[in-house]
A = this chain, B = another copy of it.
Amino acid sequence: MLKVVVIGSGNVAQHLITVLGKSGSINLVQAYARNAAALTHLLPDEKITDNFATLAAADIYIISVTDDAIAEVSSLLPFSDRLVVHTSGSVALQQIDAKNRRGVFYPLQTFSKNKAVDFKQVPLCLESENETDYHTLQTLAKSVSDSVYNINSVQRQSLHVAAVFVSNFTNHMYNIGHDICEENNVPFDILKPLIKETADKVQILSPKQAQTGPAKRNDVTTMEKHLAFLKDEKIKTIYTLLSQSIQNNNE
């Protein structure tokens, strides 16, 4: 059975610890946190360490820390020629200290502390320096997810940028909608089925096929009404820019 150590105590690390801890086919032997108390709700004390010198032997070490800390943490590991992977969408494999065999185990999902995620549905993007390590990573990945992809560093970077658009910027669109509702004493709840349906549509249709709205149909009257309604100059600028971008796609 593959032995795994998770290094880190943030959102992604905690979700990984939870899902690996439950797995019948993976042995989560240990987790490292600078502050061990951050993990005591997930693991028994004997499986938590705050000292790199006491890291257990394992087949895979998963570094799940902030992007900026990956290089340093990897250089602090007191061993060499073991498989060490990070979980970041935007950090190159080469940022991991070359004394170990390097790889990437990037779960492409948004993780919140307050909301459980079905890990089986989370796409895992894998990368490694050699085929043997890839197979080890693949065994780990398939034990927790049904959706495993071989993705190189450039592709991973593109996914990370794309994810900002489809998730972070999308959520910001929800936030602007929320603020408009609040200013007009309308419950944001009215928009929730629309939000869900908009996301559901592109599970089946391409976003191009799914596009609707005044910009798509070049409905200038409605767009002018909307701009007259919006008072905040910054929100007006976003409305105009995104409407133009949709209209450019029509051409």
Contact = CB atoms under 8 A, between A and B. Distances in A.
Interface of A: 67-68, 90, 108-110, 112, 114-115, 117, 121-123, 125, 147, 149, 151, 154-155, 157-178, 180-181, 183-216, 219, 221-222, 225-226, 229-230, 234, 237-239, 241-242, 245-246, 248-249
How many copies, total? 2
Minimum-distance CB pairs A-B, first 10: A168-B213, A199-B199, A158-B184, A175-B207, A162-B177, A166-B177, A174-B207, A162-B180, A167-B198, A165-B177
B175 A249 contact: yes
Given A186-B151, A199-B199, A222-B90, A168 B214 contact: yes
Given A166-B173, A168-B212, 8 more contacts: A67-B221, A112-B205, A115-B204, A157-B229, A159-B191, A163-B191, A175-B208, A177-B207
A238 B248 contact: no
A229 B165 contact: no
A186 to B, nearest CB: 5
Nearest to A122: B193
Contacts of A185: 155
Contacts of A168: 211-216, 246
A92 to B, nearest CB: 10
Contacts of A90: 222, 225-226
Given A112-B201, A155-B185, A199-B196, A207 B190 contact: no
Contact of A109 (B176, B194, B207): B194
B213 A164 contact: yes
